Amino acid sequence: MAIVSIVPPQRPIDAVVRIPGSKSITNRALVLAALAEGISTLSGVLFSDDSHWFMDGLQRLGICVEIDEPGTEVRVHGVAGGPPATEAELWVELAGTAARFLLAYATLGQGHYTIDGNARMRQRPMEDLLATLNSLGAYCYSLGPQGGLPVRVEACGLRGGATGLAGDKTSQFLSALLMVAPYADHDIELTMTTPLAATPYIDITIAMMREFGAEVQCDQYHRFRIAAGQRYQARTYQIEPDASNASYFFAAAAATGGRVRVEGISRQALQGDIAFLDVLERMGCTIRAAQNWLEVQGPPQLRGIELDMSKLPDMAITLAALAPFADRPTTIRNVALIRHHETDRIAAMTGELRKLGVQVEEYPDGLTIMPGSHHAATIDSHHDHRMAMGFAVAGLNIPGLRIDNAEAVGKTFPDFFTRFAALSGA
C-alpha cells in the first residue's frame, strides 16, 4: 500500500500543467467506436486502470482494439453492431462505467457472457439496469448475493420497446442504454421513474452519439426516445483533457492563492465538471480563459458557500478539501448518490476531515464543513481515486498530511502525484 506525503509549497504556486484525457469521454468513445462501422481513431485517450479494463473487456468480446503505446492513440475496429464473441468472461475491477456500458453492449450479442469485478464493485448498484434491459428483451441476471456483480448475460439482441428506468443512483445506467439503443430491433422509449442524477453526463452521451451518427429525443431529462435502425459511423475523434481531474490543479491555486493554468481545455468543454470553475468563482477565485487553456488565480481568502452539487457530484470531494480554509462554513447538498461510488464518499469525507481536526456535520445527502482548526494526519483514500486526489489539495495547506492507499489514483490518473508534487517544486 503506497503512502504519499504532500509537501506544501514554499512560495506561491505558479504553474502550467497538462491533464490526461477524460475518462468519461474515453469510455463512451470506445463503445461507440465498437458499435460503428469501420475503423475509428481515438486520440488523447486516457490510459489508466479503468480504461485498461474497458479495452480488455471489448477485446474479450471480440473487438479489435489497437493501442499505440506509449502514446495516447487507439484504433477500434468497429463491427457495426454487437460483440462478435459468442462467449466471454469480463473483469472490470472497480470500473463502474465499464461494468454498466459493457453489460448493455453485451446484450446486443449472440452468446453467453459473464461480467465480474472486485469486492467493492460487487456492492455497487446494478439491479435497476438489469431490470430495464430485461424489460427491453434482454436476459441478464445477477449471480451475486447483493443483486450486482457478477452478472450473467444470455444474449440474443435487444427487442426494444417502452419501459421505465430509475435514475437516482447513477446516470451510467441511462448512458449505457442510450448508446446501445439504436441497435435494438425496435424503437426504445425510456421514462425516468426517479429523478435523474448527474444530468451533465447524459449531455456528454447524447452529444457523442450525435457525433458518431445517432440522435436522441430528450424531454426535460424525463423521457428519452431513440429510433432503431440508426447506425454509428467510424471517425477520427479527439478526446479532451479530463475536467474532473483538472479540478485538483485548479483547486491547488484556490487553496494557496496561487496561479495554475491547464492547457488543452476550454470553458466550452463537453464535460459538465468544467462548471466547477463557477464554484471557484463563487469562492473568490479569478478565472481567465482562452480557446485552449483555462487559468485559476486563488484569492487571499476563500469564501465558504452553500451549494446544490447534484450536477457536479464528482466535485464534492474537491470542494470539501477547500472548505477548511474558507472564511465561513461550506455546505454540500444533494449528492446522496455518491454514497454508491468507489466508497461511501459522504461518510469517507466526514471521517477523514475529522481526522484532520475539522468539524463536520454529516447529512444523508451531504455535509457541512466548518473552517478553522486543522492538523496533520494520515488520510485513508478508501481505495477511491477522488479521495486520494481531493485530499492532496488539503495537504498544500496542512504540513504533514499523508495519503494512504495512494495507488488508488491509478484508476483515472496514474501519475497524478508526480504532476501534483511539481506544483510545489517537490
Catalytic center residues = 314
Q: Is 198 left (phi over 0), alpha (psi -120 to 50) or beta?
A: left
